[in-house]
Every structure is written in structure tokens, then in C-alpha cells.
Chain A
Amino acid sequence: MLFFAATTPNAASITPTNFSNLVVQNGYILVLAIGMVMVIIAGHIDLSVGSVAAFIGGVAGILTVRPLEQDGWEWLPALPWWAGIIGAILIGAIVGVWQGFWVAYVGIPAFIVTLAGMLLFRGMALLTLQNSNIGPFPDEFRAIGNGFLDKEKTFNTLVGFPIDYNLTALVVTVLGVVALWVAVLRQRSGKIKYGQIVEPRTWFYIKNVILSAMVLYVGFQLSQANGIPITLIVLAVLILGYTVVMNRTPFGRYIYAIGGNLHAAVLSGINVRKVNFWLFVNMGALAALSGVLIAARMNSAVPKAGDGFELDAISSVFIGGAAVQGGVGTVTGSMIGGLIQGVLANGMNLNSVGIDIQMTIKGLVLLLAVAFDVWSKRRK
């Protein structure tokens, strides 16, 4: 990041607008990476998510926009934007039911099922869209991918705040930081109450002060641009929610247990099939959300959407420290992995690096990141 800050013309990479771009341009990959890290921790893989995203983009188009002429969907009225989104995510979950059934109950390796799904749902995307595009989407729908929280700064005018900074963004950021402190302090005191060893007080404060400063800095930057992107809000909710799922619910624990030692998990009475099944349903729903974000951002449902995104999501997960054998990985790690890729691509774009060099570098970064991980583990 610093490297690009120093090298990009006019320090374009640290402008407020670019911060905002970084989030919205990578949001759909990050959403995929959340589902993907769960799948990978359990020892599976999902190659179909890019195709599913394209298919669901098409579905969202049919549901919310006036359908294509003479496409056989004339009977279906265009739904309100929110119903369209819910419907699209539900259909994504049904896609997950399909794949989960084959993986969990028939016992076909996820690699095969989702490789088939990659072709199948790309085909379905072409079928639903009849090899053409659907758009434009309603404004509210577009806002998920492109919109900002209180872009018009109505809150500023309401309280008479200087118009240079988006007040809503600042308030939300500060609230976020307060919530962070409440959460970490509560967790710490809970641990102390139960006699657990906690990190030294100074380190605890230094760590969280730095973290807060980073959040405040990003919020401050965003407030100088258009405000907080809606995509960022969606992402924040997902990251928080899925971190809790992975660490605090039996479902999340079972995922780690299955990936860590399948036999031991089975003999501990875990219904492995059920867990695998719901993993893929969840992945389908998240892929659908990703498809909605893509369609909203492009303001058009395109059959070629999401091409190769499964690989970006998988790279994010592995750069974020997950293990190919399963059992290891975190949601936050994958987010960092995704952002590292995003920052790289963004920085190289601003430096006008060609796609050829970009791909080469992306490939090397993935390999070196994982090699470093393997190497550091071996040294231990």
C-alpha cells in the first residue's frame, strides 16, 4: 500500500475516492471469499461461484427489471428491488442445495460437483439472459453496489456541519470504533473473570489503538469522498456475522472439526453430511449476493459476469492463511488476503501496468504468500 502510495502519479492511491473504489471494486470478491473460506476449512473447494454469481445476476435482472421482450417471462411482473434481491439470494441458496446434495449426500468430491457447476451455471446464465444483457436496474438496487450512505450530506445540512466532510460517515465511523472498544473490553474482562491468560495490558491497548486509528483514518478519507459505500456496510455486517458463526456457533466449530480430522468428527457424533450440505447452501446464498453486487455495480446483468472470480476468491483465502488440507483459516484472514490482492491490482492499474504483467504478479504473490506460510510453519 505504502509502495503504491509512493509510486502512483499524484499519490492517486491514497486519495479519498480511491479508498472508496477499493472497497466497491473488491466487495463482490470479498463476499465470495467469506463463503469460500468456510468451504475450504471443511476441506472442500467451490469452483462454481463465479458462474453462480453471473446466473443470479441474470435472475435478479429478470426479477426486478422489465423482462426481456418475448422471453417467456412476460407473465412475471417486475418485483420491487428488495423482493428481487431476496428472491435472487433464495435462488442462490437453491443452487447451493443442488450442489450440497451431490457433495454431502451422494459423496461426489466438491471439486467435481462444482467444476460441473461452473459449466452448468454459466450455461444457465446464458439461458436466462438469452445471451444478452438486462438493465438498467432500479436506483435502490444499484445503490448496493454503487451507492453511498447519505451521499447528499443531508445530515450535514440538518445540523449545519461543514460540507467538506460527510458527517454521516464520520458518525458511523466513530460509532464503529466505540463498538469495537466495547466488544474487545468485554471479551477481555470476561476472560479475566474466568482466570484465562490474556495478552499484556499495554499490548492490548497499543493493538486496539492502532486498529481504531486505522478505522478512523479510512472513515475520515471516505467522508471526504462520497461517504461510506453501501457495499462496505454489507461487508462489515457479513464479516462480523460470519466471524461469530465460525468461532461461536456449533456449526462453525463443526466446520473446523471436519476439516481438521474428519474421522474424529464423525466419531464425535457430528452429522458431517448435514454440515457439508449447509456449507454449500450458504456458499450459494453468498455467491448470489455477490452476483447482486456485480449486477448492481455494472447496472446490467451480463452472462460473462464473474468470470474467473472463483479463482480470486480462492486466492484470497489461501493468501489469508487457510490450509489446502482444511481445518485452518479465518474469515478476517481471507478478507486481508482479498484486500492485498485488491490493493495490488488497484495500485498497478493506477500505475498503468498492463494486464499481462498484472496477472504474472498476481500469480507470483499467491505462490509466495503460501510458500512463506508453509516455510514459517516448518520453522516452528
Chain B
Amino acid sequence: MSNSILEMRSITKTFPGVVALDKVTLTVERGEIHAICGENGAGKSTLMKVLSGVYPFGSYSGDIVFENNIKKFSNIRDSEAEGIVIIHQELALSPYLSIAENIFLGNEIKTFGLIDWNKTNQEAAKLMARVGLEENPVTAIKDIGVGKQQLVEIAKALSKKVKLLILDEPTAALNDEDSAHLLDLLRHLKGQGITSIIISHKLNEIEAIADTTTIIRDGHAIESLHMKKDSVSQERIIKGMVGREMENRYPARHPEIGEEILRVENWNAYHPIDRNRIVVDDISMNVRRGEIVGLAGIMGAGRTEFARSLFGHSYGTNISGKVFKSGKEIKVKTISEAIDNGLAYATEDRKRYGLNLIEDIKRNISLASLKSFVSMGLVNNNEEFKKASEYRDSMNIKAPSVLSITGQLSGGNQQKVVLSKWINVNPDVLILDEPTRGIDVGAKYEIYLIIQRLAAEGKGIIVISSELPELLGICDRIYAIAEGRITGEVERKDATPELLMKYMTMEKGRS
């Protein structure tokens, strides 16, 4: 009989066109803290969703063995009943309910069918004491900070008699003090026999807390490292995360770089709700004609926030800083101002922010540049059709006609529609946020070619990506961003994944 609490054996999970997990095997010992590392999109979250029953039994192949029995979870309730609780990065708390109500949500303490509030609050107080949360149980969730909310989630997990606690990026939104407290709590819970799986990008945290680290890359479990026994360093983990060969997945690049087209100086932006939290911290950067500039950073580092605050102040509050286009200062206070000044921003989340999914290709492509199709107050539908058809051909959008509804296209084709839309406003600087997220390898190559073509036309391109190989494969210069600041700038010839990863995981107050 093994001492492992969990064994995931040869888990394979496919989505249409993508193998997200390929025969992943994961063994978690009882009572340990097990870290899972990997780049964005490597398959960590998918693996945890398989484990917790979000992807039900039958939608994957392989076995989940928990406490020496094969489990077939068909939803989250099943896995929670066994004591497996997952805490997601976006907390699942109801902001207007009290701490106690949230802890027992869906699991209320009742006598004769009615909620026993005294007992609820009393039990909540006990659980809160266990996680070191000093608040009144009747306080509303919205009135406590993110760090304390995280503790409420853990208290909630404890109320469910948790045996295996899974935390997805638990410290991503926390400050140093709250992070330290959380890590202490995990150690403390370990002492009480609770096993934890922690998904994190913060390597120093992993180094400090994990007993074992499993590295996942491209849907494969690459290796499991025993932190103490093998005395694993951060560099060792980075090597495992990025160490793949660069195949011919990127078109050859022969840049012709011209004069500077965009310069941003001392750009700051604060969180739109938590107005004291700085999200973009004094960023200065530039792009030249024909140049492809990368912004590297882990999720939540402030890349998207920077891009969106730059693009017509569409994110953040209290934004300050200067923007120069070809040496002349420009205003970008509204999105139409930004577009008029030659900026374009293609979003990372095309379904939510990029496309009108119930509308056809033609109308999506023309939306941002509709005025150019207007004569005498009326949109020329035929010209619009012609233009959209040209994009369908030049961008190789696979659809029977430009009258096809965008919601029915594949991810790669949707992305091409988004790109067409922004190319048609004829921008000088094009910001592409995760341009290849969730699309298959072949379509990625096509997108890279389009990006190169745009650069060759003399536009300045900024590419935001979580995939380091992608940035290394297509960019001429890369800025690394961590916690809202630029922590490094690397020329193409000097760039290595290890160096960038070092900059990307650099935290404030350290270097």
C-alpha cells in the first residue's frame, strides 16, 4: 500500500483540435505540499479541472486514484464529497453575503429546515480561528481585503472536511504580507495532515514551501522534483519549464527597422476598483517602424492593463504619463482618439472583448472603421462586402462567405477576423494581446506571417504573450514586465528563456 493520497494515471484530455493533456501522471504524497509549475497554457488548470470533476469522468481518459480507490467524479460536488477542494484564482465568494454565510454557502447548518444563525456564526468563528482570520463572522465579504477573502475560501474548504486542498495561483493578487501569511497557513495545515497542491508562478514561493514540484509543459508532465532531497534551485525549475527545442514553428525574420513611431513615458495606472493599487507602475517603452516588440510577463503582471490603459484609457483610473507618436505628443484619452491617432488594440479575449459573436464576419470587420464605408450618411453594404471578402482571401479566413456568423468560426479564424478589423482602421501601431491564444499550431504560423507582413509595411507592432518561445520566435526586442513594472529589456540576439523568466519572476524590493 502506497503512502500517496492521490495518483492521476496517464490522464489525457483533448479539446477539438488540441491535446491539452497527454498521458499526464501525477503522484501526490499524503501530507505534502505539492507545487505544479508550467507556463500559461501548459495544462495545469486543465489537469486540476479534471481532478475536481469540472471535466466529468468520461470526458478524459486515464484514472484518478484517490486514497487507493479509482474515482469517477461527474461534477465538483462529487470531488468535494471526497474531500478534494479547489480554490480558483478568481475567488468564488458572494460579495454581499457575510463571511459566515459564504463559508457555509450550499452547506448550511440547519435545524428543522431553517438556518441556525447562531450555530453558523459560531462554527464560522472556529474555522476562521483555524485560518487565522480575525474578523467578525457577520462582516460582508466586500468589506474585507483580497488576502482575507482568500482565507475565507480556505475556511470554507475546511468546513467541507478537506483532505486535499488545491490552490490555483493563490498569491497572484496578494501583497507580500498576505502572501507570507498564506504560506504560513499552508505549512500549518500541513501539520494538521492536510495535503495541498499549489499552482504558482512565483518560484521563490515554491522554493520556500513545496516538498515536491511537478513541471508541466505542453500538456506533458515533464518531471517531478523533490525539493529537499534534490536541493532544487529556481534556475532548475525554469529550465524544466522552458526547456523545449525551438522547432521551425516561427517564420524566418529579416527586420527592416526604421525611426521611432511610438514612445510611452512614465505611464502609470491604478486598479479601477481598488484605487490605491498601482497596476501599471512607471512604464516607459518605445516601438520603431517595422519593429515587433514583445511584452513578456506572467498573467496579472500588468501587460494587458498597460496596453488597455494606453488604448484610450479603456482600463484603470488615475492614468498618467506621456505618449509620443513620431516624436509628437498625442492624446489617447478616449478610444476613438486613440484610433484616430493610429493606435489599435486587438484583445486577448476575443469572445468577450473582440467580436460580436451573433453578427457576421463582414460587420465585425467593418465595425471599428465603419465611417470609411459611409457615403452621404449611408453605409455602402456592397463596398463593405467587397472589403471584407478581400480580408477573407488575404488573411485566409476559412468560412463559406463573409456573411457567416463569427460565433461559428474556429478560434484561429475568429482571431483573423479580429486582426482584419484592426488592420482596416489602418493603424501605425498595432498592439496584439495574446494573438495566438487557444488556436492550433497551423493557424499560429499564419498569424505570425501576418504580423511580419504588417511590420514589413512599416507599422510598429507590440505583441503581448504568455508563451516565451513565441516571443523569442517572432520579436525583435522584448520587454519583461513584473508587478506592473518593466524589469528588463532584451534584444533578440541576447534573449534566452532563462533570462526572460528571471526578469518576469522578479519581485519588488528584490533584484
Contacts and interface: CB of A to CB of B under 8 A. Distances in A.
Contacts of B334: 269, 271
B379 A250 contact: yes
Interface in A158-204: 190-191, 193-197
Interface string A253-281: 11011001101111111110000000000
B388 to A, nearest CB: 11
A319 interface: no
Given A194-B386, A267-B314, A261 B357 contact: yes
A43 to B, nearest CB: 12
A114 B3 CA distance: 65
Contacts of A197: 401
Given A248-B378, A250-B371, A269 B353 contact: no
Contacts of B358: 260, 327-328
A118 B82 CA distance: 54
A261 B378 CA distance: 23
A328 B374 CA distance: 23
A269 B338 CA distance: 8
Nearest to B350: A264
B363 A253 contact: yes
A257 B369 CA distance: 13
A244 interface: yes
A325 to B, nearest CB: 9
B312 interface: yes
Contact of B354 (A195, A248, A264): A264
A190 B354 CA distance: 31
A249 interface: yes
A327 B363 CA distance: 13
A134 to B, nearest CB: 39
Nearest to B357: A261
A268 B421 contact: yes
B391 interface: no
Given A253-B363, A253-B370, A267 B354 contact: yes
28 contacts: A194-B383, A195-B389, A197-B401, A247-B379, A249-B377, A249-B379, A250-B379, A253-B370, A256-B356, A256-B359, A257-B367, A260-B356, A260-B359, A261-B353, A261-B355, A261-B357, A263-B353, A264-B353, A264-B355, A266-B335, A267-B311, A267-B314, A267-B354, A268-B335, A268-B421, A327-B356, A327-B358, A328-B358
Interface string B368-412: 101100100111011101100100000000000100000000000
B382 to A, nearest CB: 4
B229 interface: no
Among B352, B353, B355, B386: residue with most chain A CB under 10 A: B353
B359 A257 contact: yes
Nearest to B400: A197
B382 A194 contact: yes
B13 to A, nearest CB: 27
Given A250-B374, A263-B352, A327 B335 contact: no
A101 B396 CA distance: 44
Contacts of A193: 382
Nearest to B371: A250
Interface string B332-365: 0011101100000101000011111111000100
A156 to B, nearest CB: 39
Interface string B183-214: 00000000000000000000000000000000
A268 B374 contact: no
B368 A190 contact: no
Contacts of A268: 335, 367-368, 421
Nearest to A197: B401
Nearest to B336: A269
Range class of the A interface residue count: 20 to 34
Contacts of B379: 247-250, 253
Contacts of A248: 378-379, 381
Given A268-B421, A327-B358, A244 B378 contact: yes
Interface in B452-467: none
A37 to B, nearest CB: 16
Contact of B382 (A191, A253, A265): A191
Contacts of B368: 268-269
Interface string A264-304: 11111111000000000000000000000000000000000
A270 B367 CA distance: 9
Nearest to B381: A248
A244 B379 CA distance: 10
B312 A261 contact: no
A267 B370 contact: no
Contacts of B389: 195
Contacts of A257: 356, 359, 363, 367
A249 B354 contact: no
Nearest to B340: A269
Contacts of B378: 244, 248-249
A188 to B, nearest CB: 11
A236 B176 CA distance: 67
A271 B334 CA distance: 9
Contact of A190 (B366, B377, B382): B382
A274 B345 CA distance: 22
Contact of A267 (B335, B357, B377, B385): B335
Interface in B80-95: none
Interface in A186-231: 190-191, 193-197
Contacts of B345: 267
B408 to A, nearest CB: 10
A261 B357 CA distance: 8
Contacts of A244: 378
A261 B269 CA distance: 26
A257 B382 CA distance: 19
Nearest to B370: A250
Contacts of A267: 311, 314, 335, 345, 347, 353-354
A41 to B, nearest CB: 11
Contacts of B374: 249-250
A269 B382 contact: no
A332 B395 CA distance: 35
A265 B370 contact: no
A299 to B, nearest CB: 38
Top 8 nearest A-B pairs (CB, nearest first) are A260-B356, A268-B368, A269-B336, A194-B382, A269-B335, A261-B356, A248-B378, A263-B353
Contacts of A264: 352-356, 367
A254 B22 CA distance: 44
Interface in B402-440: 421
A267 B386 CA distance: 24
B353 A194 contact: no
Given A253-B367, A261-B355, 6 more contacts: A191-B382, A249-B374, A250-B370, A257-B359, A264-B356, A268-B421
A260 B358 CA distance: 6
A244 B358 CA distance: 21
Given A257-B356, A260-B359, A267-B345, A196 B382 contact: yes
Among A197, A244, A248, A253: residue with most chain B CB under 10 A: A253
A195 B339 CA distance: 31
Contacts of A327: 356, 358-359
A247 B366 CA distance: 13
Contacts of A196: 382, 385
Given A260-B358, A264-B356, A271 B382 contact: no
A197 B311 CA distance: 38
Contacts of B355: 261, 264
A265 B359 CA distance: 12
A249 B386 CA distance: 18
A232 to B, nearest CB: 26
